[in-house]
Chain A
Amino acid sequence: MNAGGRILRADKLGKWYGNVLGLSDVSIEIGPGIAGLLGPNGAGKSTFMKLITGQLRPSIGTVTIAGQAVWNNPGLFRNIGFCPEQDAFYEETTGREFLSGLLSLSGFSTAEVKERAARALEFVELAADADRLIRGYSRGMRQRLKIAQAVAHEPEILILDEPLNGLDPLSKRKVIRLIKEYRTEGRTVLVSSHVLPEIEALTKSIVLVHQGKILAQGDIHYIRDLIDAHPHVVAVKTDDVRALAAIFVGQPDVLSLRFDESEGLVVFETRNRDRLFERLMKVASGDRPAVEEITSPDDNLQSVFDYLIGK
């Protein structure tokens, strides 16, 4: 499949549930690589996921994959794998039977079904439990099985709806590793989550959703820089907070600063973070005051999100 075939595109997409707005005026394009779709519960992430996987019909606008409309187009799913959010299985089947049954729906021959199922189970480290009934699986195993059914037919586009829900930290690391392994060779992976650090661990390319609307899309640092309304926060650990504060208090691009002598911390707010860093490096290269640590506490997804939703 060429790169064009791996593009998810939504154009003025909207979805209503009766009078309740699920998604409004969403226009985005997601190409090869991992993209994180994030927002709080009820933001519209699952609605978007269901629209791009053809489970819901758009109220207005279009959603296409490889240039084709998704709704009522089962042929597209040869190259799409979807891991749903809900914990639902055919409980009376084994993991292997579950995978094999779904693989056979994709049109593979019996031999291929067997081979692909084995490979997928190996990929998610479920080979040892493949012949146990799903009703006996733990939460982590069930989540991995969901991922297995999404990747078993090696789709070019992988869509994962809250894949880390309910997992313990060890399982989360395993799944994150699996997702990162999968994005090789130019595949498109879209992962949704409401837990921002999880998305940060996976990708820098994000789509922020809130109350049915897209707040921002792109590289997280780039988005952060674009938020001109909110100054950047830079925290500096030093042995002489007053001396450091005195150096910067007169600078025009420093909007405000505060210091805490007990913690040895000076916190700057600036609209020109690069200029501030330049000056800090000059101070750090000198003897006094000693600069021990420089951090940007708000250069993360949570802060970006909070700024965008107006917190």
Chain B
Amino acid sequence: MAIAERGYTHWTGTLGTGRRPWRVIAGQAVRLAWKRKFFKPIFFFSLLPALVFSAGIYVSERIQDFQEMLKGADKFLKINPEYFQAYYGSNFLFFMMLIIMVGSGAGLIADDLRHNALPLYFSRPLRKRDYIGGKFAALAFFLLLLTLAPGILFLFLKLIFSGSFAFLADYPWLPFSFIGWSVFLSSFFSLYTLLLSSLGRNRRFASILILGAYFVSDVVFAILFGIFRDPAFTLFSLQMNMRQASAVFLGVKPPQHVSGFYSILILAAIMAVALLVLRKKIRGTEVIR
């Protein structure tokens, strides 16, 4: 019997149906991020506000029990859309989401560019949308854990501790607001991070860009608003835009006297630009001039 030594042979069978290559990419990115030393403590630290707000929901239903401790504070524990907007529009939440993006997302595309891994990816039956979708999903996973998961928990706790559906009857749009805002915010941060990660081959540079762009926009707003006192300058700041947009989604009055819909448009435009740039940057071959 002749023994044939075979190396790589081309697969002549049919590929499996229901393939989702983006899930493989997403799963690997999530696992890699989770393995990093500082990522777990930073992630769990980011859940602190959710814990505090959850406790607030419990306390709001037991105001009498905590009367002594909470003299005068009960008006802050009125559970309504403003309460949730305080969570969803908080600077601390945005900042922690940014740090998580730096920790898990700065090198997502930059490292692939540095190690010339894109030809390896696209030598498989993988489309650009699978690659981008996979990376996006990895980031969105962590961000939804900080936004959508607490939102579901808040509603659940409110229903449990109040013992009735009156809250939902009063604010029937709230679950959809939570879902809509969580998805919107997570999409924005994910695409923003992927855009900046794709601009170079250096993870550290991407980290600087992610944080720098965020803070520069805020500083520019602070300078211009400080001089001109015109709320329109809100639109320069990513952070302020997110707070304005969160107010629109949750059906409350935006913090600045400018329509929150402009903020949504600006954030959506940034997402669109990110997608365009990613489509251009992600390719299987590198052109060297």
Contact = CB atoms under 8 A, between A and B. Distances in A.
Nearest to B288: A136
Interface string B236-259: 000000000000000000000000
A136 B287 CA distance: 10
Contacts of A135: 288
Contacts of B288: 135-136
Contacts of B289: 136
Interface in A135-160: 135-136
A135 B201 CA distance: 13
Nearest to A136: B288
A145 to B, nearest CB: 16
Interface string B248-289: 000000000000000000000000000000000000000011
B39 to A, nearest CB: 23
Nearest to A91: B201
Nearest to A135: B288
B222 to A, nearest CB: 36
B184 to A, nearest CB: 39
Interface string B13-34: 0000000000000000000000
Nearest to A137: B288
A135 B289 CA distance: 9
A136 B289 CA distance: 7
A135 B288 CA distance: 8
Nearest to B286: A135
B84 to A, nearest CB: 49
Contacts of A136: 288-289
Nearest to B289: A136
A136 B288 CA distance: 6
B289 to A, nearest CB: 8
A12 B288 CA distance: 48
A242 to B, nearest CB: 29
A36 B85 CA distance: 70
B119 to A, nearest CB: 14
A272 to B, nearest CB: 37
B36 to A, nearest CB: 20
B172 to A, nearest CB: 58
Interface string A153-192: 0000000000000000000000000000000000000000
A112 to B, nearest CB: 32
A281 B288 CA distance: 62
A51 to B, nearest CB: 27
B288 to A, nearest CB: 5
A135 B286 CA distance: 11
A249 B276 CA distance: 81
A295 B288 CA distance: 50
A136 B286 CA distance: 11
Nearest to B201: A91
A311 to B, nearest CB: 19
A113 B289 CA distance: 28
A68 B288 CA distance: 45
B187 to A, nearest CB: 34
A135 B287 CA distance: 11
A241 to B, nearest CB: 25
Interface in A15-70: none
A294 B289 CA distance: 56
Interface in A100-149: 135-136
A135 B116 CA distance: 12
A89 to B, nearest CB: 14
3 contacts: A135-B288, A136-B288, A136-B289
Interface of B: 288-289
Q: Ordered nearest first, which 3 A-B pairs have the shortest CB separation?
A: A136-B288, A135-B288, A136-B289
